Amino acid sequence: MQKIESELLSRGYKRNRETNWVNGDKIVQVVAREFRNGKIWVCWDEAWKDYYCLIFDYSKAGGPTCVVPANGFFNFPFVFNKRQTSAYANSRYTWRQPFDLSHELSQFILGYKDRWDMLGKSLTSQKQVPMQQPEPKLLKQPQSAAISFMGEKQFTEFLQKKLDLVTPSERKIILEVWSNKDDYIKWAKEGILLIPGLVRPKDKAPPYSPELIRKFKEKGILVDTRTNGPAIMSYLLAGGERPNRRDINHGWTIHHIYDGKFALENGRSSVRAVTHGDHFTQSAGVVAIHPIADALADEYFYFAWMLRLESFKRFGYDPDNVFSR
């Protein structure tokens, strides 16, 4: 708790109550919970939904301290769905539950370990000022985007074994589309995280900052306020092309290549980008994709991972830590 107090005080926060801190219109709630036996306890109160951040403190049990944006937490699918239930209403709009470390909510929270930058600029340092809607971050590409723990040849051989499991006619279609992938898949020109910390909201896209709206206008990009709008805006702002379907009023699908499906056989789940603040608006992780290729990416292990390998080679993007460990 001493570490938390130090970080909050250094950023100009003042204690409002024992576990509640305020800095102007920013309110932060500290939530001290258990962390043991391969589980973390998570609790929340509906009264916190408009707060700035929630600090999940597991330090007393030797666990991490996680600084989570409240907007992202309350719009996280598990939390959002739980808030709609009668059980939640009957519990007076609070919830407390243990989760396995592998659970998607646990992974979401633990992804914000020691993210003190989410609270704002330290008055005693020269760190960049994070805002409610931070500036886009450019993805730093490695000097050599080469697979370090397994050669590309070995990885493609592994994928080939997956491909061999499908029927000959399916295989023919998959290989035909991939061999002409430039006709079916369009990529951004650079990797940017448009709105750090944002996950896909349930109802509508959050309001964009005036600075982002100015950038969109400069690029001639119409603001998209749908739930997947921020991901689309990130792709377009990063120079991505979105061709029209044969129905001229509809563009190709903007597809997150890390959709939580097709985990490798290593006991770990794959990132579901829309539920993670480091990946939902990451342009390196989305493509504009033809309907035929979109269906293949959704259905076949081979096609999905060839997309992920391509993203790594283009941008060094590797959220599952498969290629660059």
In 3D space, the residue among 282, 241, 229 whose CA is nearest the CA of residue 111 turns out to be 282
**70 domain-assigned:** yes
- CA dist 177 and 217 (Å) reads 35
For 172, the token pair is 């023919």
* Residue type (1 letter), 153: K
Residues of the chain with pLDDT > 70, as a percent, come to: 88
**168 domain-assigned:** yes
| Residue entry with tokens 């830590």 | 321
Q: 283 and 157 in one domain?
A: yes
Does position 146 have pLDDT exceeding 50, yes or no?
Answer: no
Provide the pLDDT for residue 35: 74
Q: 26 and 165 in one domain?
A: no
Q: How would residue 149 be classed by pLDDT, with cut points 50, 70 and 90?
A: very low
Does position 151 have pLDDT exceeding 80, yes or no?
Answer: no
Domain boundary among 96, 119, 142: 119
Q: Are 184 and 306 in contact (CB under 8 A)?
A: no
Provide the pLDDT for residue 142: 46
Return the CATH number at 41: 3.40.1350
**142 domain-assigned:** no
Q: How would residue 2 be classed by pLDDT, with cut points 50, 70 and 90?
A: confident
Does position 17 have pLDDT exceeding 60, yes or no?
Answer: yes
Q: 169 and 280 in one domain?
A: yes
Mean pLDDT computed over 147-155: 63
**Containing domain of residue 285, as a range?**
152-315
Q: 14 and 112 in one domain?
A: yes
Give me the number of domains the chain comprises: 2
- CA dist 300 and 164 (Å) reads 11
Q: Are 256 and 283 in contact (CB under 8 A)?
A: no
* Residue type (1 letter), 323: F
Does position 268 have pLDDT exceeding 80, yes or no?
Answer: no
**126 domain-assigned:** no
Bigger pLDDT: 241 vs 324: 241
Domain boundary among 77, 103, 119: 119
Is-above-0.75 flag for pTM?
no
Provide the pLDDT for residue 126: 35
